[in-house]
């Protein structure tokens, strides 16, 4: 009787190993994708800060730098896309820039006004088994024009 029980369990370790390996690989790819997602979000936040800085140092009183005064949203978009590195695609990065001024000033790039830069990036996970779809990562930065 013992001999037949042992013979019946002969291939069970192969089945158990395959089940455990599938679960382990799912967890491993999930961790890798989550790490990529966090890296990309931090990168998008950095792009928003860099875009806002680019806008504020090129205010209406700028006289030292090139591309000033009156930097446009298109110039900021081009600058933000030029900073693409690593796993990001430059063409998938989009930014919008708005300027707001206290007391309804007509010139939007005067000292005291704020530059608001919002950067978006479409993140595509590489998770191999479940299609989650793409995620839209967005970050906004706001800085005051000082000159």
Query: What are 102-126's pLDDT values in tens digits?
Result: 876 666 777 888 889 999 999 888 8
Rounded distance between C-alpha atoms, residue 97 and residue 53, angstroms: 12
Distance CA 1, CA 52 (A): 78
H helices of 2-115, in order, are 2-8, 12-56, 73-82
Task: Dig out the tokens for 52 from the structure.
Answer: 């806002």
The residue segments making up the domain with residue 54 are: 2-144
What percent of the chain is modeled with pLDDT above 90?
35
- Number of domains making up the chain: 1
Q: Is the pTM of this model over 0.85?
A: no
Instruction: Kindly report, residue by residue over 1-48, the tens digit of the pLDDT.
Output: 555 555 666 677 888 899 999 999 888 988 998 898 999 999 999 999
């Amino acid at each position: 009787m013992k001999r037949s029980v042992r013979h019946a369990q002969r291939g069970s370790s192969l089945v158990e190993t395959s089940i455990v390996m599938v679960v382990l690989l799912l967890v491993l790819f999930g961790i890798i994708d989550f790490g990529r997602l966090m890296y990309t979000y931090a990168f998008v936040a950095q792009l928003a800060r860099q875009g806002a800085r680019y806008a504020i140092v090129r205010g209406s009183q700028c006289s030292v730098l090139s591309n000033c005064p009156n930097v446009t949203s298109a110039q900021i978009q081009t600058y933000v896309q030029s900073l693409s590195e690593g796993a990001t695609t430059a063409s998938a990065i989009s930014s919008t820039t708005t300027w707001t001024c206290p007391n309804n000033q007509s010139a939007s790039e005067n000292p005291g006004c704020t530059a608001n830069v919002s950067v978006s990036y479409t993140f595509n996970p590489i998770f191999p088994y479940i299609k989650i779809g793409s995620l839209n990562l967005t970050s906004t930065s706001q800085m005051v024009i000082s000159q």
